Structure 1
Amino acid sequence: MDSPGKHIGDRPRTLHLFDLDGTLIRGSAAAVEISRQLGVSAEIAELEREFLTAGLAPDEFAVRARELWSELTAAQVEAAFEGAPWLAGIREVWETIRGRGDYCAVITLSPDFFVERLLPWGAHATHGSRWPALPFTGPVDRAGILDTAAKVRIAQELCARFGVRPADCVAFGDSMSDAAIFASVPRAVAVNADHHLAGLATHTYTGGDLREAFALLDAPLDGPRA
């Protein structure tokens, strides 16, 4: 079992924080992949559009997605997870992080029943919005749906859990939901990112392999942060 600790030899431990949608899953999201299994891709695309451009709140997104997913089964979630366009090299990167004595965690606004499937891949922790258990028998509890501020709070809680200073964290993300956490850590890698992270990332990666994005942390900074 991994034991919390502040240092390994002469260096502090590092906590690597990964977003899910658009970051580990390239060009897609858990909600999109789940909706594809249910034949409601057009409907979820409209919700995604409202979230990205019209200010739809994460809890309202979840409530409306729950209506679309009323018949969702665990088998469909598994199929959505297995069929998602994952970046290559995720397991290898997390194995490297663990081998160094460091930590890796995934924090996402997407449902917990999807992101927790990454634990066997090597993540020390996963945090997603809290949804009712499958098959759904009740509504989404809005209080359990994460927002951007919650991602920063959870990162702080993970620092305390693993004995890591916020100054020794690295974030990986792609969009506006990652802006706050990017601003809260000294190093951040924008992975296939949109304009919302301009000036907030110390490194920028475009491509399909997390090993390449991770390797940027050993390279010179792309430029000064805003």
Structure 2
Amino acid sequence: MSPRGIVFFDIDGTLVPSRSSSSFLAERLGHLEELNAAEARYAAGEATNHEVSVVDAAGWRDVEVRTIAGWLDELPLIAGIDDVVAWCAHHEVEPVLASLAWEPVGASIARRHGFTANGGPRVGVDGTVHDGTVAEHLDEYGKRDRALALAAQRGVAPDRCCAVGDSRSDLPLFGSVPTSFALNAGPDARAAASVSIETGDLRDLIPWLDRWERGLGRRDGARTPG
């Protein structure tokens, strides 16, 4: 049975509040300084997302896949995630990850908390170890397209979707759905979003999700749960 709607959640800066998942892993992998320098060039418009991904992926060379997965079990996340996922289940809304974080990051968060994983950029794998190359790049437009493709597979129109994010990588998706929530966001995302929220607890999003969900009820003529 298709969900009544979909909420797309960004990861870095949204579900991972303090620093990016890439920085979390790079510190353990030993190339945080190189990644920080690459990300600073990206922020200044001097490097592309692809170039930053190449720098980051190189630090994964010869590291076991299971090692990365074990570290990600310790990735700090925003409070209140499980309650928001439970809200989604109660309202027949699918919580889907839409992010430029590496694919194992999304897979880990989905497994831990019940989101639907939806891929991401990938570091190459040779046997049981990462090879230090980028097997699949993803930019903000690919992030949008992948999210909308999953919605189409579910039979859910874009006007029954909303998005939660914090940065310029969320702008194409924000522009493709009728409702968007900027969570602890930068100025570009705040300007583009329907609602801007500052909080350390994802449960503070629920009153806004309630309003959005009631709109789904008006569109399908169904009585909203709860």
The answer to whether TM tops 0.5 is yes
Q: How does 1:128-207 map to 2 (within 5 A)?
A: 128-133=120-125, 134-137=128-131, 139-141=133-135, 144-207=136-199
Quick one: distance in 1 between partners of 2:206 and 2:63? 35
Percent identical pairs in the alignment equals 27
Q: Does the CA-based 8 Å contact 1:62-1:145 persist in structure 2? A: yes
Judged with a 3 Å threshold, the aligned counterparts in structure 2 of structure 1 residues 138 and 47 are, in CA distance, closer, same or farther, namely closer
Kept in 2, the 8 Å contact 1:21–1:108? The answer is yes
How far residue 89 of structure 1 moved from its aligned partner, in angstroms, is: 1.3
Instruction: After TM superposition, give the deviation of residue 199 of structure 1 in Å.
Output: 2.4
Pairwise CA RMSD of aligned residues?
2.0
Amino acid at match of 1:139: T
Cα distance, 1:214–1:49 mapped onto 2, change above 3 Å: farther
Cα distance change on mapping 1:77 and 1:153 into 2, 3 Å? same
Structure 2 residue aligned with 1:9: none
Give the drift of 1:135: 1.0
Aligned to 2:222: none
Q: CA deviation at 1:151?
A: 1.3
Displacement of 1:40 = 2.4
Is the 1:104–1:125 contact (alpha carbons within 8 Å) kept by the matching residues of 2? no
Q: Hey, what's the Cα distance between the residues in 1 that align with 2:206 and 2:193?
A: 13
Read off the aligned partner of 1:178 and give its amino acid letter: D
- Asked whether the 8 Å contact 1:37–1:79 carries over to 2, the reply is no
Q: Which moved more, 1:77-86 or 1:26-35?
A: 77-86
Map 1:83-98 to 2 at 5 A.
83-98=74-89
For each residue in 1:68-122, what CA deviation from the matched residue of structure 2 results, as whole angstroms up to 9, or x when unmatched? Answer: 2224333542354233331011122112202221111111112112211122211
Structure 1 unaligned blocks of 5 or more:
6-12, 221-226
Q: Which moved more, 1:53-62 or 1:132-141?
A: 132-141
TM-score, reference length from structure 2:
0.84
AA partner of residue 38 (structure 1): L
C-alpha spacing 1:53/1:186, structure 2 compared with 1 (3 Å): same
Provide TM-score, normalisation by structure 1: 0.84
In 2, the alpha carbon distance for the partners of 1:86 and 1:137 equals 28
- Give the drift of 1:32: 0.4
